Amino acid sequence: MNARMKNPAMVLPDAMKGIQNLFKAMHQGGVPQEIMELVHLRASQINGCSACVYGGVDSAKKAGVSDERLHAVAAWREAPFFTDAERAALALAEAATRIADRTGQAVPDDVWDEAADHFDEQQLAAIILMIATTNFFNRINTTVQEPAGATWA
């Protein structure tokens, strides 16, 4: 399978500078890398972005996420492998990714409150930026049909 075109972030190089700055900021938020990777993977699963799921699994493994936990991300509610903080981050990722699935609040107060119980404002900012950036990449990759395992070189 071939992509329809080069990734837009590569076609317009100034876009990559902004993306790199977002990632730099996210990683200054003090959230454990494993949580950031789980959030990225869950949003990518929801959006059906094969390129981001493929890359997310690889990044999560490098961050120390076990295969057992990776296999259970899509079923995190029923799986015993996640901490309360990870569950709160995953719930936030799902709510913020599925914003069109709800009437009223896109992110319900109970989801927000649970996340805020586990993360301070700086950490929440990092998680929200990860969710938003992941959704950004998911939309680009699914539009251009970026195949799993593709490189941007």
Question: Is residue 131 predicted with pLDDT exceeding 80?
Answer: yes
CATH number for 50: 1.20.1290.10
Question: Is residue 151 predicted with pLDDT exceeding 80?
Answer: no
Q: What distance in Å separates the CA atoms of residue 73 and residue 42, rounded to the nearest whole number?
A: 6
Name the residue with higher pLDDT: 101 or 29.
29
Torsion angle, alpha carbons of 16, 19, 24, 26, to 10: -170
Q: What distance in Å separates the CA atoms of residue 63 and residue 43, rounded to the nearest whole number?
A: 17
Question: Is residue 65 predicted with pLDDT exceeding 60?
Answer: yes
Does residue 153 lie in a domain region?
no
Does residue 55 lie in a domain region?
yes
Q: Average of pLDDT values for 126-147?
A: 95
Question: Is residue 58 predicted with pLDDT exceeding 60?
Answer: yes
Does residue 118 lie in a domain region?
yes
Question: Is residue 20 predicted with pLDDT exceeding 80?
Answer: yes
pTM: 0.93
- Nearest Cα neighbor of 50 from 150, 152, 128 is 150
Does residue 136 lie in a domain region?
yes
Contacts of 49 (CB under 8 A, 6+ apart): 137, 138, 141, 142, 146
Q: Average of pLDDT values for 9-36?
A: 92
Name the residue with higher pLDDT: 47 or 147.
47
Does residue 140 lie in a domain region?
yes
The pLDDT score that the predictor gives to residue 37 is: 98
Does residue 8 lie in a domain region?
no
Does residue 101 lie in a domain region?
yes
Question: Is residue 153 predicted with pLDDT exceeding 50?
Answer: no
**Residues 37 and 59 sit within 8 Å (Cβ to Cβ):** yes
Does residue 26 lie in a domain region?
no
Domain residues for the domain of 70 are: 32-144
Question: Is residue 152 predicted with pLDDT exceeding 70?
Answer: no
Q: What distance in Å separates the CA atoms of residue 4 and residue 143, rounded to the nearest whole number?
A: 8
Q: What domain count does the chain have?
A: 1
Question: Is residue 36 predicted with pLDDT exceeding 90?
Answer: yes
Question: Is residue 68 predicted with pLDDT exceeding 50?
Answer: yes
Q: What distance in Å separates the CA atoms of residue 69 and residue 2, rounded to the nearest whole number?
A: 30
